[in-house]
Structures are given as C-alpha cells and as structure tokens.
C-alpha cells in the first residue's frame, strides 16, 4: 500500500468552522426542542444557530439524526455530571442533585418520546446508549451513598433510571415542576433512617 492510499483512506477531520456549525446547531436544536418540541420548523433551528438550512441538512440529513445527536450530547453531559457532583457533595446529596438533573433532562424533552418510539431506525440503540452512559454514572453515586449508609441497599441503577423516566415523562396538563417534585419524593424514599 502506498503512502498516498493510506492518506486517502484515513478518516477526514472536520474543519473548525464545520465543527463550530455542528455545535451551534446542537445548541440551537436543544433550545428549540425544549420550547417548541421536536417538530419545530428547521428554519427556527437554523435561524437561532446562525447557519443556513443547507448546513443543517449537510450535517443532519434527517430530523431523526439531529434529535439523536441532541439526546446523545445531553446524555453524555448528564453522565459527566455524576463525578463532579460526587466530588463536590456528600454522597446522598450528590445522588439527589444528580437525580434532579436527570429529572430536568427527562421533563424538558417535549415530543422526544413520540419520536423515539416512531420506529425510525435512526433511534436504534439509543436506549442502550442511555443505559450504557447513565447506568454506571448512577451506579457509582448509588454505591457511594449506600456505603455511606445514606440510602438503602439493593436499589438497581436501571430500575431507578426507569422510575425517574416514568415519573418525569412530560404530560399535557401538569405543573412544570411536577416531575422534579416526584423525583424528590422518590429520593426521600431511598433514604435510610427516619
């Protein structure tokens, strides 16, 4: 194999402006999806991002690709928050703060559940990705809080993730903080002692 062939087969790095455009689109999509839902017009997203519609479709050919990218980015941020909270707070407090963050993440996803259950193959593997990222993050917080005697033992990270998701799923006529209040109640039930 020649050096020319090796270079041509190497994955190309995105240009700086292309990476910046993707970040702007993801930031804008997150904001627009939170306020207008996942079916908001593409123009609303591109206007907020300061890019053209062609740029959106160059990076995200289908709406499902953009939705998935926004979700993966937010899942990563939620997972990354666990060790930061663990370092800054006592174990039980870190766990409750992380659950509150997770509740906010779930509650602000207007229309995401419908999109995710649409059967679109773009979403294949997203549930596994969520469990792969958030399961260990929550598991670490739970283990530390359990070892400190602050929460009861035998709580499964997967069960707790599903409970938060169900408690916080957006409903049409609920108060905006309903999910967070329900998660606070759930977290109180996890505590040991009076």
Output Rg (C-alpha) for the chain, integer angstroms. Answer: 20
Asked if residue 110 is part of any domain, the answer here is yes
Cβ–Cβ < 8 Å for 107, 166: no
Q: Which two tokens stand for residue 53?
A: 């519609």
Question: Which range of residues forms the domain containing residue 168?
Answer: 67-193
For residue 170, the model assigns a pLDDT of: 65
- The pLDDT tens digits for 6-46 are 445 545 566 788 899 999 999 999 999 988 888 999 999 99
99 plus 13 within the same structural domain: no
Helix or strand (DSSP H, E) at 13: none
Asked if residue 1 is part of any domain, the answer here is no
73 plus 127 within the same structural domain: yes
151 plus 166 within the same structural domain: yes
How far CA 36 is from CA of 32, 41, 72, 110, 154, in Å, comes to 6, 9, 19, 8, 39
- The pLDDT tens digits for 97-111 are 999 999 888 877 766
Asked if residue 55 is part of any domain, the answer here is yes
56 plus 26 within the same structural domain: yes
- The pLDDT tens digits for 56-65 are 999 999 999 9
Asked if residue 3 is part of any domain, the answer here is no
75 plus 43 within the same structural domain: no
The count of domains in the chain is: 2
Cβ–Cβ < 8 Å for 56, 25: yes
Closest by alpha carbon to 104, among 158, 182, 189?
182
Q: Which CATH number belongs to the domain containing residue 24 in this structure?
A: 1.10.10
pTM of the model: 0.80
36 plus 78 within the same structural domain: no
- The pLDDT tens digits for 140-176 are 999 999 999 998 888 899 989 988 888 877 666 666 6
114 plus 129 within the same structural domain: yes
21 plus 39 within the same structural domain: yes
């Amino acid at each position: 194999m020649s050096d020319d062939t090796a270079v041509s087969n190497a994955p190309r790095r995105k240009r700086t402006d292309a990476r910046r455009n993707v970040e702007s689109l993801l930031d804008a999509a997150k904001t627009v999806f939170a306020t207008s839902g996942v079916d908001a017009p593409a123009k609303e997203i591109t206007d907020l991002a300061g890019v053209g519609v062609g740029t959106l479709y160059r990076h995200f050919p289908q709406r499902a690709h953009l939705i998935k990218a926004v979700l993966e980015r937010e899942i990563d941020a939620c997972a990354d928050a666990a060790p930061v909270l663990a370092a800054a707070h006592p174990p039980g407090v870190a766990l409750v703060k992380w659950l509150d963050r997770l509740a906010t993440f779930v509650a602000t996803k207007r229309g995401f559940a419908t999109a995710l259950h649409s059967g679109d193959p773009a979403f294949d593997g997203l549930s596994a990705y969520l469990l792969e990222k958030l399961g260990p993050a929550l598991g670490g917080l739970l283990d530390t809080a359990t070892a400190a005697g602050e929460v009861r033992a035998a709580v499964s990270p997967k069960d707790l993730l599903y409970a938060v998701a169900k408690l916080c799923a957006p409903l049409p006529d609920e108060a905006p903080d309903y999910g967070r209040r329900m998660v606070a109640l759930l977290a109180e039930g996890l505590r040991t002692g009076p």
